[in-house]
Every structure is written in structure tokens, then in C-alpha cells.
Amino acid sequence: MSSRATISDVARLAGVHKATASRALNPATSSRVKAATARRVQQAARQLGYTPNAVARSLRTSRSFTVGVLLPDLTNPLFPPIVRGIEEVLSVQGYTALLSNTDNDDDRERAQFQALVDRQVDGFIIATGLRRHPLLEGAFKAGVPVVLVNRGTDKPMFPLVSGDDATGVALAVDHLAELGHRAIAHLAGPPGLTTSLVRTRAFRQASQAHALPAELTPVVASAAYEEKAGARAAEELLDAHPEVTAIVAGNDLIALGALHALRARGLSCPQDVSVIGFNDMRFVDEFQPPLTSVRVPHQELGAEAARLLLEQLQSSPERSHSRRPIPKIVMLPVRLVVRGSTAAPRTRTS
């Protein structure tokens, strides 16, 4: 790496002091320098292929124009679109996203978080929220700028951007009820996450709204938002409640597990049991049968989270404790995408 040009090199070539060069090169301060000088400096910079050393700048300004992004599991197709939305907004403003996979591991998460803090990221967008989350409580007390995406915390500390989960679940139950289902189960996500809680509550409420008795609308929690865990939860459900004719899954991977569990015991979907997923992630339309699911605008979720964070960063660049905004919750609208995994129950409960 033939050593890079520094601002001193540029200044020397332009025949000015490096402070002047700095001013000329920074759009915010270039007006405070004679136009001719500015041009000369910029010309010199171009000639030398100068780009500022971001590390030195960060050290001096204690701003890095980077944002840490914590993701629970990049292999879940839910997250790549969120990342794309984040990057789309950040890059326009000159920010860079530093992505970090936690693999749902607390220790990894703590380590990654600290590594990013040590690198002086200006703030975080966090998709690994838990209802009780010591790391986030610490971040809150320390005044670290954070925006949560998709998953929140019990105690409202940071702004949250999520899909309108409650409405999504209601749409799912409505759809099934209209098809004539009365024994509808919910395969909930793991209990530690707000998404699970919100969706489960919404399920109970929607069931009541359709006057479905509690004994016909059981809820079984999956150990994780993953296919295997979903399959296990579905087994458990089918053992305990063979009467169900429809399943509202906590997310698409749980739904996929349910499809497998049904197939494994010779039940067919949607003829025997209808299944609805949540998120409408990529490839659910390729499933067998194509999965009816609640579409959440993930890219827009990411974009909105980035916007909120930038707002916060730009209003309090010094990370002052002053005027911490009341953490708002931004919910983006969802809609039900009906595909082949839902149909009228074989035998109407009369």
C-alpha cells in the first residue's frame, strides 16, 4: 500500500497551511476560504488522490459517521431487506453501516456491541431486542443513541420501528374465520421477544372478536423463530389439539416447520389444516403449498429506523443527555398476502 497522501501533502502542493486545506476540503467550511484558494486545494487533492483518513477525523471529532447494526441471524431472509433499507438511507447522508451478526448469542452480542462502541460508532440500529435486555438498559443509561427495529423491549427506552403486528395477526384470523375456521391455533414465537407477545395478544383478541372459544384457539410457543423449533411446536400442538383446522404462525420459518410437521403425519395443507405465516419473507411463495403470509415492508422498516437514528444524531451531535426524545413507536402498515396454504376447512363445524 504505497502510503496515502495526507492533508499536509495536499496543503504543501497547494501552497497553503494544512488548516486552510482542511477548510477548503470540508463543504461546511469551504465558504470561509477564498474561492481561488479552495479551487487550488481541491485540485491538489484530486491530483494526489487524497481522501481523508476517517480514523484520524473520528479521533479528532469523536464522530465516525458510522452506525452499528446488530442482527440476530443474517441467514433469516427477514433481515437482508432491513439491512438494505438501512444502507440506502445512511449512505445518502455519508454514513456507513457496520453490520454485526450476534447469532442470538448474548455473549457475542455484548462483545460486538462493545467492539462497535470502541470504534466510536455514532449510534446503533438494533434488531436483536428482547423484552428484558440488560445490554440495552446499559446503553440507555449510558445515553447511547439507539433505534430498535422489529423487536422492542418491555420498558420503552428507544424508538422502535416495526410492522403493525397486531393488525397483521387480526387480518390473518379474519381471513381464516371468513373461510369458516373455528378451531384456530397460534404457534407463537419465543416468549422473550416483544413480537411474540404482541402477536399472541393480538391473536387472543382477534379470536374473541370472532367469538371463538378459548378451548378452540390454543397457543403453543415455539422455542425460536426457526424452522426446526416451529416443527417441534407444531408436533406438540397437533398432539394436544388434533381438532385445529388452521394455524397462525409467529413467523414464516415457524410456519415452514408447521408445514413439515403436517406432512410428516400425513396431513395435507390446506385441505386438512390451513397455515398462515408472518413477514412474507423471500421464497415463501415457493413453498409447498405457497404460504399465505402477512407482508411486512422490511426494507422500509430499515429505512425508517435509519431516518430516526439520523434525526437523533443530528439533533444531539454531542450525545448530550439533554432532551432525550420520548421513544416513539413507528408502525408500518402490513397486509395479508393470500396464497395456497389457506382454504376452507374440510368439514364445517356446525
> Shortest distance, CB of residue 144 to DNA, whole angstroms?
16
CA dist 185 and 224 (Å) reads 17
Cell of 137: 438498559
The reply on whether position 96 binds a copy of itself by CB under 8 A is: yes
The reply on whether position 180 binds a copy of itself by CB under 8 A is: no
- Among 15, 134, 143, 242, contact with a copy of itself (rule: CB under 8 A): 143
Q: Give the CA angle between residues 6, 10, 14 to the nearest 5°.
A: 165
Complete edge-to-edge strand list for the sheet that includes strand 219-221: 219-221, 184-188, 246-249, 274-279, 292-295, 335-337
At what angle are helices 7-14 and 35-48 packed, to 10 degrees? 120
| From 6-14, 175-183, 271-279, 339-347, span contacting DNA (CB under 7 A) | 6-14
The reply on whether position 315 binds a copy of itself by CB under 8 A is: no
Site for a copy of itself in 318-337 (CB under 8 A): 319, 321
- Among 83, 202, 212, 276, contact with a copy of itself (rule: CB under 8 A): 83
CA dist 156 and 276 (Å) reads 30
Neighbours of 264 (CB within 10 A): 12
The CA-atom distances, in angstroms, between 273 and each of 50, 230, 256, 341, 343 are: 64, 15, 13, 8, 8
Site for DNA in 45-104 (CB under 7 A): 50, 52-53, 56-57, 59-62
The reply on whether position 39 binds DNA by CB under 7 A is: no
Nearest one of 108, 46, 242 to 234, comparing CA atoms: 242
The reply on whether position 53 binds a copy of itself by CB under 8 A is: yes
Closer residue to a copy of itself (CB): 77 or 180? 77
By CB under 7 A, name the binding residues for DNA.
3, 6-8, 15-20, 22-23, 25-26, 29, 32-34, 36-38, 50, 52-53, 56-57, 59-62
Kindly list the residues in this chain that would bind a copy of itself in the complex (CB under 8 A).
1-2, 51-56, 58-59, 64, 66, 74-75, 77, 80-81, 83-84, 87, 91, 96, 98-101, 103, 108, 111-112, 114-120, 142-144, 256, 282-283, 286-288, 319, 321
